[in-house]
């Protein structure tokens, strides 16, 4: 069984998103908002205190997320504009007649 890549770097983004760099070189965007109403994540006072730790991430209140969850529920960031691919792709079709 092959494991998903682990976190190499993390950068907090606006609107409770994280820009994650994985050990395989992929850069992906993870939305933390769905977790903010659950358990220890309700106590996230300083969202920007996130840091990489042992292949995952952790906040100053010791909240963390599984690296597999971070990989599987994040979306790739396009190389050219640093936005998630879903956003870039949806903009490409906006306004086109079908």
For 23-53, how does the pLDDT look when each residue is reduced to its tens digit (9 = 90+)? 999 999 999 999 888 888 877 778 888 999 9
pTM: 0.63
Distance between CA atoms of residues 80 and 90, nearest Å: 15
Domain assignment present for 62: yes
Q: At 35, which CATH number?
A: 3.30.2020.10
Q: What is the residue-averaged pLDDT of the chain?
A: 80
pLDDT of residue 52: 94
Domain assignment present for 98: no
What is the domain range of residue 33?
A: 7-93
Tokens of 17: 């998103």
Quickly state the pLDDT bin for 94 (edges 50, 70, 90): very low
Phi-psi region of 29 (alpha: psi -120 to 50; beta: other; left: phi over 0): beta
Quickly state the pLDDT bin for 72 (edges 50, 70, 90): very high
Distance between CA atoms of residues 17 and 11, nearest Å: 9
Is-contact 65 35, C-beta < 8 A?
yes
């Amino acid at each position: 069984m092959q494991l998903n890549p682990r976190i190499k770097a993390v950068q907090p983004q606006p609107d409770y998103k994280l820009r994650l760099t994985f050990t395989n070189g992929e850069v992906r965007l993870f939305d933390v908002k769905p977790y903010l109403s659950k358990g220890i994540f309700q106590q996230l006072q300083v969202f920007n205190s996130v840091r990489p730790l042992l292949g995952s991430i952790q906040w100053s209140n010791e909240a963390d997320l599984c690296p597999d969850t971070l990989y599987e529920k994040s979306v790739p960031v396009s190389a050219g504009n640093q936005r998630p691919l879903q956003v870039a792709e949806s903009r490409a079709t906006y306004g086109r007649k079908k």
